[in-house]
Structures are given as structure tokens and as C-alpha cells.
């Protein structure tokens, strides 16, 4: 069946029996392929019937479909002619998210959550202004993404419009983990209410005996619908915003899904369709997993769901251990995250001290400002997020934390080049942004020991923001220092009075050592160094450089306006005559590829740095 689907139009002539067969084939395809490449498995297994229904009722790309977040768009890719998943998330292969370069059916590379409704509101208003009244805009958003404040700003705006927007709320009770907060509790009430259970049971019997339902609005059908009417008239969350509400419906019952979507389409105004789905549907290991390990997977054995290669002890695990140890020593330390309790390493802390860990949902702005409030109340909050997601709360870091001298520590996981998840997930912006925040101190540890120490140093600061950034993946071997020079650490020395100083920041420290070795092999006196606390400029910088002819900086952040540039400006103000050469990430979006491939492309490998350095010296 799947091979017969080259575009969404091929779905419309199929019977429900054929569509059931297609759904099963899609799930088998996803398990087989994603187990080979890695990727977001659980979210896509849960939206098979829902995505089919959307493409049967609406006509992409005439009707615009926006996914929030885009990791639930694999089925959409399959139904729009992209069925080669052999290089998913690899260079030259399919992106793990919607991608305009891949297909006219893709609208937004939406891997930062809670934005789809704003996109949909803008697209729909554009159609209205242009008089294109026959075009619909569909936003597929998970209940987890609805915890983000931006989504509610959009709902508030949509409620005041008459634009053709269909908000499909994919309610599976999870994002990376069980969805938290007041909205989640409200949806749980609807999902588990006895009257809804009665409705589902009645609906299945009706479908078996009488064919598809005529309507899914609670005002039309009697008997089992009476129970649903009582439930939904009590629920004023969306009605009070001026939005028509349809649901909840079984997101794995395709006739129900289509009927609800068709009714939303015909309404010709903003409508919310509340669809209940099961994350990991149809794949036994995912259905039986309570820790949501199948949200995103590496290469796994498809029969068991177990990883093919067990993960090495990673940076996240180092932080997880250290904050748990600190929590036992300091009762004032609390932690916050934005719907990523396990991915950022806070789960052990939460298990041990549930009253001291706050998951705010997908709401980074709220997390940062509430952290400032916790600091005011006499605690030391630790905000743990992916580096790329702190971009969303820069104003709060600046105006709520720094302006008020709040002692808040930010632990930025997956900093630098992450690779496979594509341009939105590389944590490459943080150093260039945060070094402009008054009073902020920023650390880039090079190994497990320096990460542990940097975290402890950070939480000792109670009158300014502190940031500790560290990369994705396994921790390398310890990198000992030969000696310390005013906040800088010498890692390797080749000869006296170095002509070249190579400084590697954070995860690039090992690169600096290897590059220095290669430069020294050409007969040039060279020194390799690093610093754990990279901003403000370490006080020993002038002493380290001394009479060096060339200083080479290597960082996995932006070259332009990065830490290397800051150090060079400081050195010039001190009257130092050394030339500077900066290696980092250019100001551009990096397309998905492995970290190693991107490092090589950007000239951040030791050989490229050494070759560039020797060429500069020859020119002089």
C-alpha cells in the first residue's frame, strides 16, 4: 500500500480497510527504518491515522499544514512522496523536521516548540487579506507544546479572528515526558471522565452497526452523545477564548478523525479539534515503556527496542550526579527545566527531592523569570536547558536576572555543534549572545572534573547570573593542566617563549593540544591552553600570551562576536602586539550532518587549524 502513495491525492480513493492496511505498513516502515538511523520514533507512531486524515480532508500545499513540533512529521513526509529514510538525519538525506528545501508540502522547520499557532495565524490572516477565502491553515500541536506561553498568545489572537485556522490538538499526555501543569490536569479530566469513556464505547458500537458518525459536535446526536454534552459544556477553556471546540475524539479511529476535521473545515473559522492519541502506538516496546525512551532513539534492535551500542557516560550524566550531590549539601539549591526533566539530567534530583525541582513545561521565558523570583526568595535556582533553547529567553536573562543581580545558574546542555537535528538544534549562539549581559560569568569546561568544579563555582555566585555550557555526547578522557596562569591553564608546551599560542575553549581543548603538536612538529615553539571560565576575560591572558607572535582561538560557537574576538579586543587594549586567528562557526545556519562532518567542513579539526596557522606564519 505505501508504495502506491506518491502524494496526498493518492489517499482519497482508498477504502477504510485499505487505509487500515496502510497505517500498519507505515508503522512497520517507521520501526524498521528509524531503528537503523535513529530519530523520533514514538511521536510518529502516534500520529499515523491523524496525519492520513488531515491529508484526506485538506489539500496540501493549497492548504498549509504546520507541525508543532516538527518531530511528528515523519508520516507527513511519507505521504508526500518522501519514502527513502535510509539516510534520515544524515548529510544528503531527509531532515528530521519539515524542510522547505525538501518539499512544497513543508512550511516550517519547526523544532522549537509552541510556535505553530503563531505561524498559522499569520498564514491564515495573509490568505484573508488577499481574498483567498477557500484556503485553510492547519496547525498540528501537541498538548506538551500548548504549555508554552507563545501558543496561548496565539490562541488569544485567533479567538478574535474569523480566519480559517484548524488547530489540531494532538493530546497524548506527553512531550519529552508526561505533560505537566494546569492545562495537562484539565485535559486529563476530559480524557479520563466516565462520560467520555461512555461516549467512546457507544461510538465504536455505532460505527460497527450504522457506519460513520454524522457529526462529532455534542449538540447533534443523542444517547451516548448526551454524556459527552455534559462533559464539554463544562469545559470553557477554549470557548471562553472565542474558539470553536470539537472533541475529544479517538485519534486512531480514522472515520472519527476525518468527520471531525471535515466539520472543522466547513466551519470556516478558528476551530480546535481535540484528538487523543497514544505515543508509540503499535510498537510493543514503546507502548510498554513508561520512561518515554522512544521519543527519540539512536540505532536500536527493532525487536526489543534496546540500543545497538550502549551509550558511554555522558556530559549530562556528570551534571546529573553533581547536582544530586550538591542538593544533599545545600538545601537552598533548586532546579528548573522546560519539559526536559530527564534529557537534561534532573530526573535523579527530582526523584530524591521532588519539592525542589520545577518543570514549567515548554516555557523557557517563564522558567528564567521565575528563577529570578526564587533567587529573590533566598534560594539558588539552577535552570537546566539545551543551549539552543536559552535563545528563547534572552530578554529574561538580561532584564529579569542580570538587571536585578539575581544569583541564577544556567546549565546549557548540548552546547556547540550537535549535528543530526539540523540548524535549529546546534547550540552555537549562546556565547556570542550571553557575553553581552552585564555581570554574567560563563564557563566552558573541558572534561568531567572541570564540569563538576565549574558547577560548584557557579552556585557560589549569589549576585549575578552564571552559565556553564557543555556539549552533547560522551565525556572524553581527563585533560590535565601543566600549570595555571591567572584563570588560564596550560595544557601542552613545545619549547620556550612560544611563538604560537593555541587556545581551545571547552570541548575544543583536546583539539588545541593536537593542533599545537602538529604546529610544533614543524619546528615552531607552541603552547596549548584553555580556560574553564572564559567570560569575563581571564586576568592572566596578558601573561599567557607574553611575546607570542600569533594567538589562535578555537571555539564551538560563533567566530564573529565570540569569545576569541572578545579576548583579542582585550589584548589590543592592553597594548599587546600579537596577531590573532579565530576558528569557530560562521554566522550561518548549519544543515544537518554528523558532528564530525560539520567539524571538518568548518575547518575545526586539528589538521586544518595547524595548516592554517603554518600558512599564516609563512605569509609573515
The pLDDT of residue 220 is 30
Tell me the H-state helices in 280-362: 284-287, 315-329, 347-352
Q: State the DSSP string of 192-214.
A: H-HHHHHHHHHHHHHHHHH-S-S
- Annotated catalytic residue, options 258, 322, 364, 489: 364
Say how far apart CA 242 and CA 525 lie, in whole Å.
72
* DSSP code, position 162: -
Q: State the DSSP string of 382-404.
A: EEEEEHHHHGGGHHHIIIIIITT
On whether 209 is known to bind a ligand per the annotation, the reply is no
Q: Which helix (H) or strand (E) holds 596?
A: helix 595-601
What band does 185 get if pLDDT is binned at 50, 70 and 90? low
- C-alpha to C-alpha distances, 506 to 215, 431, 433, nearest whole angstrom: 59, 11, 17
On whether 364 is known to bind a ligand per the annotation, the reply is yes
CA pseudo-torsion sign 256, 257, 258, 261: positive
On whether 145 is known to bind a ligand per the annotation, the reply is yes
Say how far apart CA 519 and CA 563 lie, in whole Å.
23
pLDDT at 309 over 80: no
What band does 92 get if pLDDT is binned at 50, 70 and 90? confident
Say how far apart CA 112 and CA 68 lie, in whole Å.
8
Q: Which three cell numbers stand for residue 485?
A: 596562569
For residues 53-73, give the mean pLDDT. 91
pLDDT in tens, 537-571: 999 999 999 889 999 999 999 999 899 999 999 99
What band does 507 get if pLDDT is binned at 50, 70 and 90? very high
In percent, how much of the chain has pLDDT > 90?
Answer: 60
On whether 144 is known to bind a ligand per the annotation, the reply is yes
Say how far apart CA 511 and CA 505 lie, in whole Å.
9
pLDDT at 281 over 60: yes
CA pseudo-torsion sign 238, 240, 243, 245: positive
Q: Which three cell numbers stand for residue 418?
A: 550537535
On whether 111 is known to bind a ligand per the annotation, the reply is yes
Say how far apart CA 467 and CA 474 lie, in whole Å.
20
Say how far apart CA 249 and CA 274 lie, in whole Å.
6
* β-pairing verdict for 333-337 and 380-386: parallel
CA nearest neighbour of 99 among 457, 589, 542 = 589
- C-alpha to C-alpha distances, 517 to 17, 418, 529, 530, 607, nearest whole angstrom: 66, 26, 12, 15, 10
Q: Flag the least confident range among 207-216, 257-266, 376-385.
A: 207-216
Higher pLDDT, residue 297 or 370: 370
On whether 110 is known to bind a ligand per the annotation, the reply is no
* β-pairing verdict for 579-585 and 533-535: unpaired
On whether 314 is known to bind a ligand per the annotation, the reply is no
Half-sphere exposure of 588 (CA within 13 A, CB side): 7
What band does 205 get if pLDDT is binned at 50, 70 and 90? very low
The pLDDT of residue 383 is 98
pLDDT in tens, 95-104: 888 888 889 9
Give backbone dihedrals phi and psi of 45, rounded to 5 degrees, phi first.
-60, -25
Say how far apart CA 112 and CA 150 lie, in whole Å.
11
For residues 449-470, give the mean pLDDT. 98
Q: Candidates 1.10.12.10, 3.40.50.1240, 3.90.1150.10, 3.40.50.920; correct CATH number of 483-619?
A: 3.40.50.920
Q: For the domain bounded by 315-469, which CATH number is listed? A: 3.40.50.970
The pLDDT of residue 280 is 81
Query: Is-contact 297 343, C-beta < 8 A?
Result: no
pLDDT in tens, 421-433: 778 888 889 999 9
Cβ within 8 Å of residue 345, ≥6 positions away: 316, 317, 319, 320, 323, 384, 413
Superfamily of domain 57-71+94-282: Thiamin diphosphate (ThDP)-binding fold, Pyr/PP domains (3.40.50.970)
Query: Is-contact 243 271, C-beta < 8 A?
Result: yes
Q: Is there a catalytic annotation at residue 185?
A: no
Q: Which three cell numbers stand for residue 218?
A: 455534542
- Annotated catalytic residue, options 392, 452, 469, 499: 392
For residues 462-477, give the mean pLDDT. 95
The pLDDT of residue 189 is 58
The pLDDT of residue 327 is 96
Helix (H, G, I), strand (E, B) or coil at 188: helix
Query: Is-contact 404 436, C-beta < 8 A?
Result: no
- Annotated catalytic residue, options 225, 259, 279, 595: 279
* β-pairing verdict for 357-359 and 533-535: unpaired
Q: What is the three-state SS of 259-302? A: HHHHHHHHHCCCEEEEEECCCCCCCHHHHCCCCCCCCCECCECC
Span between the terminal Cα atoms of the chain, in Å: 66
Within 10 A of 486 (CB to CB), how many other CB atoms are there?
A: 12
The pLDDT of residue 222 is 37
| Fold equal for 315-469 and 483-619 | yes
For residues 344-357, give the mean pLDDT. 95
Q: Is there a catalytic annotation at residue 392?
A: yes
Higher pLDDT, residue 221 or 371: 371
On whether 283 is known to bind a ligand per the annotation, the reply is yes
Q: Is there a catalytic annotation at residue 364?
A: yes
pLDDT in tens, 136-182: 999 999 878 888 888 889 998 998 888 999 999 998 865 555 555 55
Q: Mean of the per-residue pLDDT values for the chain?
A: 86
Cβ within 8 Å of residue 44, ≥6 positions away: 30, 34, 71, 72, 73, 74, 75
Q: Flag the least confident range among 9-13, 113-117, 213-217, 455-459.
A: 213-217
Its pTM stands at 0.81
In the chain, what are the domain boundaries?
57-71+94-282, 315-469, 483-619
Amino acid at each position: 500500500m505505501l508504495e502506491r502513495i506518491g502524494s496526498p491525492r493518492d489517499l482519497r480513493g482508498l477504502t477504510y480497510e485499505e487505509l487500515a492496511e496502510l497505517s500498519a505498513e507505515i508503522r512497520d516502515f517507521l520501526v524498521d527504518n528509524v531503528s537503523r538511523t535513529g530519530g523520533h520514533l514514538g511521536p510518529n507512531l502516534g500520529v499515523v491515522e491523524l496525519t492520513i486524515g488531515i491529508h484526506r480532508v485538506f489539500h496540501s500545499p493549497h492548504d498549509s499544514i504546520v507541525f508543532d513540533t516538527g518531530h511528528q512529521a515523519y508520516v507527513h513526509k511519507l505521504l508526500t512522496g518522501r519514502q527513502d529514510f535510509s539516510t534520515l538525519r544524515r548529510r544528503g538525506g531527509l531532515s528530521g523536521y519539515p524542510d522547505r528545501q525538501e518539499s512544497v508540502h513543508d512550511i516550517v522547520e519547526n523544532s522549537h516548540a509552541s510556535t505553530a499557532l503563531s505561524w498559522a495565524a499569520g498564514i491564515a490572516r495573509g490568505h484573508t487579506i488577499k481574498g483567498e477565502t477557500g484556503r485553510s491553515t492547519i496547525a498540528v500541536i501537541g498538548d506538551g507544546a500548548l504549555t508554552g506561553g507563545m501558543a496561548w498568545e496565539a490562541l488569544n489572537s485567533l479567538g478574535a479572528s474569523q480566519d480559517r485556522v484548524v488547530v489540531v490538538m494532538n493530546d497524548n499526555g506527553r512531550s519529552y515526558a508526561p505533560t505537566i501543569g494546569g492545562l495537562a490536569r484539565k485535559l486529563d479530566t476530559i480524557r479520563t471522565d466516565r462520560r467520555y469513556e461512555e461516549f467512546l464505547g457507544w461510538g465504536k458500537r455505532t460505527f460497527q452497526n450504522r457506519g460513520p458518525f454524522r457529526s462529532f459536535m455534542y449538540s447533534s446526536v443523542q444517547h451516548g452523545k448526551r454524556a459527552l454534552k455534559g462533559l464539554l459544556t463544562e469545559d470553557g477553556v477554549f470557548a471562553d477564548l472565542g474558539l470553536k471546540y470539537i472533541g475529544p475524539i479517538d485519534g486512531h479511529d480514522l472515520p472519527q478523525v476525518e468527520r471531525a476535521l471535515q466539520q472543522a473545515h466547513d466551519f470556516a473559522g478558528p476551530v480546535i479539534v481535540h484528538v487523543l492519541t497514544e505515543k508509540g502506538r503499535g510498537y510493543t516496546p514503546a507502548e510498554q515503556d513508561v520512561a518515554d525512551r522512544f521519543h527519540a532513539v539512536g540505532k536500536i534492535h527493532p525487536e526489543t527496542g534496546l540500543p545497538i551500542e550502549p551509550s558511554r557516560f555522558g556530559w549530562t550524566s556528570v551534571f546529573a550526579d553533581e547536582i544530586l550531590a550538591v542538593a544533599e549539601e545545600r538545601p537552598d539549591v533548586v532546579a528548573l527545566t522546560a519539559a526536559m526533566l530527564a534529557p537534561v539530567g534532573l530526573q535523579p534530583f527530582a526523584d530524591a527531592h521532588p519539592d525542589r525541582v520545577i518543570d514549567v513545561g515548554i516555557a523557557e521565558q517563564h522558567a528564567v523569570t521565575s528563577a529570578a523570583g526564587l533567587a529573590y526568595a533566598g534560594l539558588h535556582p539552577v535552570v537546566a536547558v539545551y543551549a539552543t533553547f536559552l535563545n528563547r529567553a534572552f530578554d529574561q536573562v538580561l532584564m529579569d536576572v542580570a538587571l536585578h543581580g539575581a544569583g541564577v545558574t544556567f546549565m546549557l546542555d548540548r552546547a556547540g555543534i550537535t549535528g543530526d537535528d539540523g540548524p535549529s538544534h546546534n547550540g552555537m549562539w549562546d556565547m556570542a549572545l550571553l557575553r553581552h549581559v552585564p555581570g554574567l560569568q560563563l564557563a566552558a569546561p573541558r572534561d568531567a572534573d572541570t564540569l563538576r568544579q565549574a558547577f560548584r563555582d557557579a552556585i557560589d555566585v549569589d549576585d549575578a547570573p552564571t552559565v556553564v555550557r557543555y556539549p552533547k555526547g560522551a565525556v572524553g578522557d581527563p585533560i590535565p593542566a601543566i600549570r595555571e596562569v591567572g584563570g588560564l591553564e596550560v595544557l601542552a608546551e613545545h619549547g620556550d617563549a612560544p611563538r604560537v599560542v593555541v587556545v581551545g575553549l571547552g570541548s575544543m581543548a583536546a583539539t588545541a593540544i593536537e593542533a599545537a603538536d602538529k604546529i610544533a612538529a614543524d619546528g615552531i615553539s607552541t603552547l596549548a591552553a584553555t580556560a574553564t571560565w572564559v567570560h569575563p576575560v581571564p586576568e592572566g591572558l596578558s601573561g599567557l600570551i607574553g611575546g607570542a607572535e600569533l594567538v589562535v582561538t578555537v571555539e564551538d560557537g560563533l567566530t564573529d562576536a565570540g569569545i576569541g574576538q572578545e579576548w583579542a579586543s582585550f589584548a589590543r587594549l592592553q597594548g599587546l602586539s600579537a596577531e590573532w586567528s579565530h576558528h569557530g562557526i560562521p554566522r550561518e545556519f548549519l544543515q544537518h550532518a554528523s558532528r564530525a562532518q560539520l567539524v571538518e567542513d568548518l575547518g575545526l579539526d586539528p589538521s586544518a587549524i595547524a595548516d592554517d596557522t603554518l600558512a599564516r606564519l609563512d605569509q609573515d
